């Protein structure tokens, strides 16, 4: 019934059923979504949320899927996919920044900044997510975070209303925002940058990418850092101290031998195998150090 009613909100071409989600995540694992819908614009996005909330239907907003593990059983709800259509970048009137929709890839936004000679987004060059997810979780790397360059964000509440929220009201901190609890979704965000030398910007981007390739297992499918950084520690160091680096695995799911903070898919790992490695790492680290690692990865679907 939901499928037919969705056609009253978006075009038939934007609605698919039983779509495998593995290709839409960087872990390359997971089962299908009952409905997979692609809003063409912000109005359709808002209308979808209003409809699904009114019907008390389960739904999930998906961008790059770079911080997500989907159950092998899939998701018995509606996935709203933003990356395909909600991907417009517009320069601000003062020419010192950009407004970017939620589906814009961070790598595309940082490339646009480079082309415009604007400094501030170099750190985002190698982050595989979208603007929506980056603002939601205050993405960061190498000492910089999204909050450092964010002026404001347009937030879609679960009531289907869109409001502009200044950076200071988003409560941005380490992997956290005022809406990271699921109370809202990023529609777009405005970034403030500073003029810079394109050559210097490119050199910094290249240097950060070199460091990523040297220290991170980019050759394998993963969701980046699997765990949040615990206070006073580094997750990778705790996992390595527990003797798990390059040794703990279930099937093709491994704790990386290059960086113990990454759980990687070395071939055809199932979501259940990846999940098992994550849980095993948590248990071993807690037993070894007394620190309970909190996953940075989000879980969608039934993992029981």
Q: Which residues pair with 100 in a beta bridge?
A: 89, 189
In DSSP notation, 210-252 reads HHHHHHS-TTSEE-S--BPPPTTS-HHHHHHHTT-TTT-EETT
Residue 270 among the catalytic residues: no
3-state helix, strand, coil in the chain (%, to 5): 30, 25, 40
Which residues on neighbouring strands pair with residue 157, listed in sequence order? 184
DSSP state of 123: G
Residue 249, beta-bridge partner list: 254
Q: What's the gap between Cα 292 and its chain centre?
A: 23
Residue 180: phi and psi, rounded to 5, are -70, -5
**Is residue 64 annotated as a catalytic residue, yes or no?**
no
* Marked catalytic residue, from 225, 256, 270, 273: 225
Burial of residue 199 (number of CB atoms within 10 Å: 0-12, 13-18, 19+)? exposed
- Biggest alpha carbon distance in the chain? 56
The one catalytic residue in 40, 229, 296, 298 is: 296
Radius of gyration of the chain (CA): 19
Cβ–Cβ under 8 Å, residues 45 and 181: no
* 8-state DSSP, 202: H
Q: Given 28, 64, 154, 175, which residue is catalytic?
A: 175
222 is catalytic: no
Cite the active site residues.
175, 225, 296
């Amino acid at each position: 019934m939901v499928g037919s009613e969705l056609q009253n909100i978006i075009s038939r071409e934007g609605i698919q059923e039983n779509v495998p989600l593995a290709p839409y995540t960087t872990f390359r694992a997971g089962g299908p979504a009952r409905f997979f819908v692609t809003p063409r614009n912000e109005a359709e996005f808002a209308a979808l949320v209003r409809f699904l909330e009114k019907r008390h239907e389960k739904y999930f907003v998906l961008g790059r899927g770079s911080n997500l593990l989907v159950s092998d059983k899939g998701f018995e709800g509606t996935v709203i996919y933003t990356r395909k259509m909600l991907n417009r970048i517009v320069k601000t009137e003062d020419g010192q920044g950009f407004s970017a929709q939620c589906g814009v890839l961070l790598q595309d936004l940082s490339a646009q900044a480079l082309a415009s000679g604007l400094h501030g987004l170099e750190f985002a060059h190698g982050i595989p997510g979208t603007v929506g997810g980056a603002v939601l979780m205050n993405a960061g790397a190498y000492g910089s975070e999204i909050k450092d360059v964010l002026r404001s964000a347009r937030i879609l509440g679960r009531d289907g209303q869109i409001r502009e929220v200044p950076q200071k009201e988003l409560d941005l901190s380490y992997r956290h925002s005022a809406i990271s609890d699921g109370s809202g979704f990023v529609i777009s965000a405005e970034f403030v940058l500073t003029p810079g030398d394109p050559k210097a910007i490119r050199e910094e981007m290249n240097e950060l990418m070199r460091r990523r390739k040297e220290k991170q297992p980019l050759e394998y499918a993963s969701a980046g850092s699997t765990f949040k950084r615990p206070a006073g520690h580094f997750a990778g160091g705790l996992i390595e101290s527990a003797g798990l680096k390059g040794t703990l695995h279930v099937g093709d799911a491994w704790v990386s031998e290059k960086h113990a903070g990454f759980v990687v898919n070395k071939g055809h790992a199932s979501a259940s195998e990846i999940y098992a490695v994550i849980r095993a790492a948590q248990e071993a680290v807690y037993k070894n150090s007394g620190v309970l690692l909190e996953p940075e990865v989000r879980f969608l679907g039934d993992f029981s």
